[in-house]
Structure 1
Amino acid sequence: MACDAYYLEHDVLHPPEDRCSLREIGSRTAREVAIIGMSTTFFGVANLLFAAWCIKKLGVKQALLIQIFWPAVRLAVQNWGAMTGGSRGILIFQASQIITIVGGPNGYVLALNSFVTEIVNPEERTGSLGQIQGCMMIGSAIGFLVGGVVGDAFGILAPFRITLLLFLLCCVYVALALPVLPTDQNNTNTREKSVGLMRFFGPLRIFTPQKWTLRDGRTSRQSGALMLGIGVFLAILATGYLVTLLQMYATTAFGFGTSANGYLIFMYSSLRGLYLTLAFPHIIKIGRRWLQPPTGEATKIETAALEPAGTSPSGIEIADSMDAETEPLNPPQRENEEETFAFDLLYARCSLVVDGILTGLCVFVSEGWQMYIVALLLPLAAGTGSASKGSILQMIPSKDRVDALSGITLVENVARLSTISVFGFVFAALAEVGKTHLVFLCNAGVALIGFIALLFSHFPPEGARRIEG
Structure 2
Amino acid sequence: MAVTAADETSPLLGIENETAPKRAKAAKVAGTIFGPANRILLAGFLMAFTLGITQVPIIYVFRLMECDIFYTHNPPFDGPGDRCHRREINAGTATQVSVLGMSTSFSGVFNLFICGYFIKLWGPRWAFVSQTALLGIRVSTQVLGVTIGGRTGEIIFQACQAIGVIGGPRGFQLVLNTAVSELVAAKDRTAVFGRLQGAIMLGTAFGYLLGGVLGDVYNIRRPFETAFFLYVACTIYGALFLPTGTGNEMTNQKKGGRGISGFFAPIKVIAPHKYRLESGKVVKVYSLVFLALGIFLGVFASGYAPILLQMYATSEFNFGTTENGYLMFGNSAIRGIFLLLMFPKIISVGRIWFNGTSASAETRYTESESHIPINPEDFEVVEGGEVPQEPVQAPDPDEEDSGTGFDLFFVRWSLVIDSMVTFFAGFSTNGWQVYLAGFLLPFASGSAPAAKGVMTELCPPEQRPDAISAITLVESMASLLTQGLFGLIFAAFSEMGKPSLTFFCNAGCAVFGFAVLFMAYLPPENSKRIDDDDDSETEIET
Aligned residues: 436
Q: Distance in 2 between matches of 1:290 and 1:434?
A: 48
The answer to whether the 8 Å contact 2:185/2:398 transfers is no
The answer to whether the 8 Å contact 1:299/1:340 transfers is no
Aligned match for 1:403, one of 466, 472, 477: 466
* DSSP 3-state at the match of 2:500: helix
2:12 alignment partner in structure 1: none
2:435 alignment partner in structure 1: 372
Q: Distance in 2 between matches of 1:177 and 1:467?
A: 39
What is the CA-CA distance between 1:248 and the residue it aligns to?
0.7
Q: Cα 1:296–1:336, aligned 2, differ >3 Å: closer, same or farther?
A: farther
What is the CA-CA distance between 1:158 and the residue it aligns to?
1.4
Q: Which residue type is aligned with residue 337 of structure 2? A: L
1:192 alignment partner in structure 2: 257
Alignment of 1:23 with 2:87, yes or no, is: yes
The answer to whether the 8 Å contact 2:112/2:469 transfers is no
2:70 alignment partner in structure 1: 6
Q: Distance in 1 between matches of 2:530 and 2:240?
A: 50
Q: Distance in 2 between matches of 1:212 and 1:181?
A: 31
Alignment of 1:150 with 2:214, yes or no, is: yes
Alignment of 1:53 with 2:117, yes or no, is: yes
Q: Distance in 1 between matches of 2:519 and 2:190?
A: 28
2:60 alignment partner in structure 1: none
Aligned match for 2:350, one of 283, 287, 295: 287
* DSSP 3-state at the match of 1:235: helix
Q: Distance in 2 between matches of 1:370 and 1:158?
A: 30
Q: Distance in 2 between matches of 1:7 and 1:334?
A: 67
1:90 alignment partner in structure 2: 154
The answer to whether the 8 Å contact 2:327/2:438 transfers is yes
Q: Which residue type is aligned with residue 462 of structure 1? A: E
Q: Cα 1:57–1:10, aligned 2, differ >3 Å: closer, same or farther?
A: same
Q: Cα 1:67–1:7, aligned 2, differ >3 Å: closer, same or farther?
A: same
Q: Distance in 1 between matches of 2:284 and 2:436?
A: 45
Alignment of 1:258 with 2:321, yes or no, is: yes
Q: Which residue type is aligned with residue 198 of structure 2? A: G
In structure 2, the gaps of 5 or more residues are 1-64, 364-395, 533-542
Alignment of 1:71 with 2:71, yes or no, is: no
Two-structure CA RMSD over aligned residues (Å) = 2.9
Per-residue CA distance 1:184-217 (angstroms, 9 max, x = gap):
665554433541xx54444333434444455566
Alignment of 1:362 with 2:425, yes or no, is: yes
Per-residue CA distance 1:272-317 (angstroms, 9 max, x = gap):
01101100111011011011142448779xxxxxxxxxxxxxxxxx
Q: Cα 1:396–1:63, aligned 2, differ >3 Å: closer, same or farther?
A: closer
* DSSP 3-state at the match of 1:364: coil
Q: Which residue type is aligned with residue 99 of structure 1? A: I
Alignment of 1:42 with 2:106, yes or no, is: yes
What is the CA-CA distance between 1:159 and the residue it aligns to?
1.1
Instruction: Out of 286-295 and 210-219, give the one that drifted further.
Output: 210-219
What is the CA-CA distance between 1:414 and the residue it aligns to?
1.1
The answer to whether the 8 Å contact 1:51/1:102 transfers is yes
What is the CA-CA distance between 1:20 and the residue it aligns to?
0.7
Q: Distance in 2 between matches of 1:453 and 1:67?
A: 34
What is the CA-CA distance between 1:132 and the residue it aligns to?
3.6
In structure 1, the gaps of 5 or more residues are 301-332
Alignment of 1:238 with 2:316, yes or no, is: no
Instruction: Out of 335-344 and 358-367, give the one that drifted further.
Output: 335-344
Q: Distance in 1 between matches of 2:72 and 2:122?
A: 49
What is the CA-CA distance between 1:405 and the residue it aligns to?
2.4
Q: Cα 1:77–1:113, aligned 2, differ >3 Å: closer, same or farther?
A: same
5 Å matches for 1:63-462? 63-116=127-180, 129-178=193-242, 186-192=251-257, 194-195=259-260, 199-214=262-277, 220-296=283-359, 335=398, 337=400, 339=402, 341-462=404-525
The answer to whether the 8 Å contact 1:275/1:380 transfers is yes
Q: Which residue type is aligned with residue 218 of structure 2? A: F
What is the CA-CA distance between 1:421 and the residue it aligns to?
1.1
The answer to whether the 8 Å contact 1:149/1:258 transfers is yes
Q: Cα 1:391–1:429, aligned 2, differ >3 Å: closer, same or farther?
A: same
Q: Cα 1:417–1:395, aligned 2, differ >3 Å: closer, same or farther?
A: same
1:307 alignment partner in structure 2: none
* DSSP 3-state at the match of 1:458: coil
Instruction: Out of 259-268 and 148-157, give the one that drifted further.
Output: 148-157
Q: Which residue type is aligned with residue 230 of structure 1? A: L
Q: Distance in 2 between matches of 1:229 and 1:152?
A: 41
Q: Distance in 1 between matches of 2:397 and 2:437?
A: 36
What is the CA-CA distance between 1:252 and the residue it aligns to?
0.9
Q: Distance in 2 between matches of 1:335 and 1:116?
A: 15
Instruction: Out of 389-398 and 132-141, give the one that drifted further.
Output: 389-398
Q: Distance in 1 between matches of 2:133 and 2:282?
A: 53
The answer to whether the 8 Å contact 1:227/1:456 transfers is yes
Aligned match for 2:97, one of 28, 33, 56: 33
The answer to whether the 8 Å contact 1:145/1:262 transfers is yes
* DSSP 3-state at the match of 1:156: coil
Per-residue CA distance 1:75-102 (angstroms, 9 max, x = gap):
1111111011111111111111111123
Q: Cα 1:338–1:438, aligned 2, differ >3 Å: closer, same or farther?
A: closer
* DSSP 3-state at the match of 1:369: helix
Q: Cα 1:182–1:466, aligned 2, differ >3 Å: closer, same or farther?
A: closer
The answer to whether the 8 Å contact 2:178/2:465 transfers is no
* DSSP 3-state at the match of 2:426: helix
* DSSP 3-state at the match of 2:453: helix
Q: Which residue type is aligned with residue 229 of structure 2? A: L
* DSSP 3-state at the match of 1:436: coil
* DSSP 3-state at the match of 2:157: helix
Q: Cα 1:96–1:399, aligned 2, differ >3 Å: closer, same or farther?
A: closer
Q: Distance in 1 between matches of 2:270 and 2:188?
A: 29
Q: Cα 1:201–1:434, aligned 2, differ >3 Å: closer, same or farther?
A: farther
Per-residue CA distance 1:44-76 (angstroms, 9 max, x = gap):
122222223333333433322221112111111
Q: Cα 1:108–1:159, aligned 2, differ >3 Å: closer, same or farther?
A: same
Q: Which residue type is aligned with residue 191 of structure 1? A: G
Q: Which residue type is aligned with residue 84 of structure 2? A: C
Q: Distance in 1 between matches of 2:444 and 2:232?
A: 35
Per-residue CA distance 1:7-38 (angstroms, 9 max, x = gap):
11222464662111111111111111111111
Q: Distance in 1 between matches of 2:180 and 2:296?
A: 27
TM-score normalised by the chain length of structure 1: 0.84
